[in-house]
Amino acid sequence: MDRRGRASPAPRTVRVRVPAKINLQLAVGPLRPDGYHDLCTVFQAVSLYDEVRATSAVPGSGISITVSGEEYADVPAGPQNLAVRAAGLLADHFDVPPDVRLHVNKGIPVAGGMAGGSADAAAALVACDLLWGLSAARDELAALAAQLGSDVPFLLTGGTAIGTGRGERLSPVLVQGRFEWVVATSHVGLSTPSVYRRFDELAQDRQVPEPVADDAVMAALRSGDPAALGAALSNDLQAPALSLRPDLQLVLDTGRAAGALGAIVSGSGPTVAFLVADGAAAMELTLALAPTGLCRSLRHAQGPVPGAQVVPRAG
Ligand code: C5P
């Protein structure tokens, strides 16, 4: 039965695919009393995916999780996993038994500044909503998503959007065409809170302005001009990330020398995102960076793509 008393032929396993994000602009404001920073960011969802599978479990068995895929050993497989917290929050909110087996297959870099953990939380909300027959309204899921993390609401919707507040208040952005990216992951991750702390340390002696959207980024997105977008990419967390990880400068410089239209640390890093003109340019950049050994992996991606989506059952 669903919560409106209708019999629901809920599938026993629901699969949801969810993308990674890149911040095309990340303007960070002053530290707030709650420990967060006001942001003005332009998110773009790109075609690197995690998949979350939610399978019904016997009553009383609770929420369990297993993880596979790239770098899966670095992902917590317990109650602190954001997908587990998402399933628990959803069950609490709708007062249904929190019984589900979750499986996360990682394709998004772990601790990379591409919101992989937040993506899994968004996917778990969508998967458990369908598995448990809740039919939650999109706004209801978005409100729960915001409780789980600043990036989680964006991974529900995907596309390209401006995020304000902590990043959780979204408005869609008009975009023409698709943009091609090369994503360079790092051998070691960076913790997001430590990068924000470094931002605060570096900002100690100056007045941090209120963050606002950059007109040049908006214009480049509207016209679909990758060269203009490449020139306009900006990230206030890049300087603190580089001060913690100076080796990333060489990755940025090598990619620029190999023809990238734009190069930027993704979110809090250490993943670096290169905007390129087309598939051939992506290949050229990949061939230039691969032999240096500076990156753990080099992946070609496109954006914008939709947010968390149920994968239709075969047949
Ligand atoms: O919201 P989320 O859990 O993803 O944030 C992780 C950490 O990043 C926060 O604990 C905080 O240290 C930092 N953060 C911030 N301001 C934001 C978003 C995140 O300071 N707007």
- For the stretch 198-231, pLDDT in tens is 999 999 878 888 999 999 999 999 999 999 999 9
Task: Indicate if the alpha-carbon torsion angle 146, 147, 151, 153 is positive or negative.
Answer: negative
Is residue 7 over pLDDT 60? no
Residues labelled catalytic: 21, 151
pLDDT of residue 111: 80
Question: Could you tell me which residues are beta bridge partners of residue 215?
Answer: none
**Distance, CA of 282 to CA of 78 (rounded, Å):** 37
Q: Percent of the chain having pLDDT more than 70? A: 96
What is the distance in A from the centroid of ligand 1 to the CA of 150?
7
What is the distance in A from the centroid of ligand 1 to the CA of 35?
8
pLDDT of residue 112: 87
Within 10 angstroms of residue 199's Cβ, the number of other Cβ atoms is: 21
For residue 117, give the ligand 1 atom closest to its CA.
4
pTM of the model: 0.94
pLDDT of residue 2: 52
pLDDT of residue 192: 93
pLDDT of residue 10: 47
For residue 115, give the ligand 1 atom closest to its CA.
4
Pocket of ligand 1 (CB under 6 A): 35-37, 39, 149-151, 166-167, 192-193, 196
Average of per-residue pLDDT values in the chain = 94
What is the distance in A from the centroid of ligand 1 to the CA of 166?
7
pLDDT of residue 3: 56
Q: Percent of the chain having pLDDT more than 90? A: 88
